[in-house]
Chain A
């Protein structure tokens, strides 16, 4: 039963963190290069600009759900199951979501990188 809860948590982590990552990435692309903005307008302007981007708040909600799912999962399953399983599947889910929703150019190089990392994470957990 603990295993079942652990996998429920893993599923929640993947869904919530992919949604959160996509929304945050979208928001930050709208804000533009933070380093440049900081130099030109100061830190407060950067923070103000980020916080007033509506999708940013939604992204944070996604990350918060993922965070609490992780705490939930860690309390039921082993660190060595929950973290690698959710992390490696999140890499793949993110590559798909970034391509579909963010129109990022996910070329062969990035697919190979995502798959290598995902597979490597699994191997490290065995």
Chain B
């Protein structure tokens, strides 16, 4: 795990949190979408909060795909779950919401889970990694050049 890889994991956390919060705000503005008016869901994209939210979720998606290319799914998901803690801290420091004891407990459990998985191996070794389809000859020739 290099510093850049940890940055990608941090990007997943921050971008998905920002995206979800903006989406939630946009949907509250729109109100309930009824089952008989599903086209309302498609038009939701026109709301600026939702548009911004989708932009952040795209950034999240790019980071997420990158992380999944070099780490296990069961590593990436818990390692990036600090977003929930981030939301609580934002609510506490910018909107001065009080954080209850149960929430503090939840925050510490999540933080403990993140620490647990991050300290372990990030990838299950497997054959697929040792023989990437057509990259191999090129990689070998690069090795030879050195």
Contacts and interface: CB of A to CB of B under 8 A. Distances in A.
Contacts of A32: 69, 129, 132, 135
A113 B117 contact: yes
A46 to B, nearest CB: 9
Given A21-B77, A116-B78, 4 more contacts: A24-B64, A99-B74, A105-B124, A116-B110
A44 interface: no
Interface of B: 4-5, 20, 23-24, 27-28, 30-33, 35, 41, 44, 57, 61, 64-66, 68-70, 72-75, 77-78, 81, 84, 88, 102-103, 105-114, 116-117, 119-120, 124, 126, 128-129, 132-133, 135, 138-139, 142
A71 B109 contact: no
B84 A28 contact: no
A45 B96 CA distance: 47
Interface in A36-81: 37, 40, 50, 63, 67-68, 70-72, 74-76, 79
A72 B81 CA distance: 23
Given A34-B66, A74-B27, A103-B126, A120 B108 contact: yes
A98 B84 contact: no
Contacts of A22: 73
Contact of A98 (B70, B73, B88, B116): B73
Main SS at interface, chain B: helix
Contacts of A83: 20, 24
A68 B120 CA distance: 34
Contacts of B113: 112-117, 120
B120 A116 contact: no
Interface residues of A, number: 57
A110 B24 contact: no
Contacts of A33: 69-70
Interface string A93-126: 0110011001111110110111111011111111
Contact of A91 (B66, B77, B138): B77
